[in-house]
A and B are shown apart, each in its own frame.
Chain A
Amino acid sequence: MQPIGGLTVLVNLFIIFLGNVKKKLSKYISLNLHLSLPRYTPHVIVFSCFALSFAGLFFIVKDSVYSYDSNYYIYDLGPPCEPFAINLSGDRQVILRLDDVQAFAWRDVSFAIVNEATSRKIPLVLGIIPFRLQDDPATTGYIKKNVCNLEIAQHGWSTDKYAHDTNETEKLNETNIYFNIMAGKSELEKISSDPVITFIPPFNVYSSKTAYALKSAKFSIISSDNGGLYDSTTLTYDYQKNESISTSKIVSSCEEAFKKSLPCIIMIHPQDFATNGKLDEKKYYAFTALLDDLQGRNVTFVRFKDIYHP
Chain B
Amino acid sequence: MMISILIPCHNEEKTIKECLESCLFQTLKFDEIIVVDDGSTDSTPSILESFGKKITVVRIPKKTGNKSFAQQKGLKFVTGDILVMTDADTILHCNFARRIALDFKDKKTVAVAGYVKSLKHNWLTACRELDYVIGQDIYKTAQSYIDAVYVMPGCASAFRTKVFKKCITFDHDTLTEDLDFTYKLHEKGLKIKYDRKAIVYTQDPATIRSYVTQMKRWYSGGWQNLSKHRKVILEKPGNSLELSLMFIEGFMFSSLMFIVPIINITLFAYFMMLYLPVLFAFSLYGTVKRKRLDLLIYFPAYLILLFLDAYLFIRTFFDEIVFKNKNRKWTIPERRDILCNTEEDFH
Please list the residues of chain A having a beta carbon within 8 angstroms of any beta carbon in chain B.
1-9, 11-13, 15-16, 18-19, 35-43, 45-46, 49-50, 53, 57, 60-61, 64-65
Contact = CB atoms under 8 A, between A and B. Distances in A.
13 contacts: A1-B139, A2-B219, A2-B247, A2-B313, A3-B254, A9-B138, A11-B241, A12-B139, A15-B145, A37-B241, A49-B245, A50-B252, A57-B256
Interface in B246-276: 246-250, 252-254, 256-257, 263-264, 267
B331 interface: no
A6 B146 contact: no
Contacts of B247: 2
Contacts of B147: 36
A3 B134 contact: no
B56 interface: no
Contacts of A43: 240, 244
Given A3-B309, A60-B267, A46 B237 contact: no
Which interface residue of A3, A16, A35 has the most chain B CB atoms within 10 A? A3
Given A36-B147, A39-B237, A41-B241, 7 more contacts: A2-B247, A5-B252, A38-B237, A42-B238, A46-B248, A57-B256, A64-B267
Contact of B313 (A3, A12, A19, A40): A3
Contacts of B40: none
A64 B267 CA distance: 8
B293 interface: no
Contacts of B142: 11-13, 15-16, 19
Contacts of B264: 60, 64-65
Contacts of B222: 2
A2 B247 CA distance: 7
Interface of B: 131, 134-135, 138-139, 141-143, 145-147, 219, 222, 237-238, 240-242, 244-250, 252-254, 256-257, 263-264, 267, 278, 306, 309-310, 313
Nearest to B302: A4
Contacts of A13: 138, 142
Given A35-B146, A46-B245, A12 B138 contact: yes
A122 B135 CA distance: 65
A16 B138 contact: yes
B148 to A, nearest CB: 9
Which interface residue of A39, A42, A43, A53 has the most chain B CB atoms within 10 A? A42
Contact of A53 (B252, B267, B278): B252
Contact of A35 (B138, B145, B267): B145
Nearest to B267: A64
Contacts of A46: 240-241, 244-245, 248
Contacts of A35: 145-146
Contacts of A53: 252
A36 B264 CA distance: 41
A1 B131 contact: yes
A38 B250 CA distance: 25
Contact of A8 (B141, B246, B310): B246
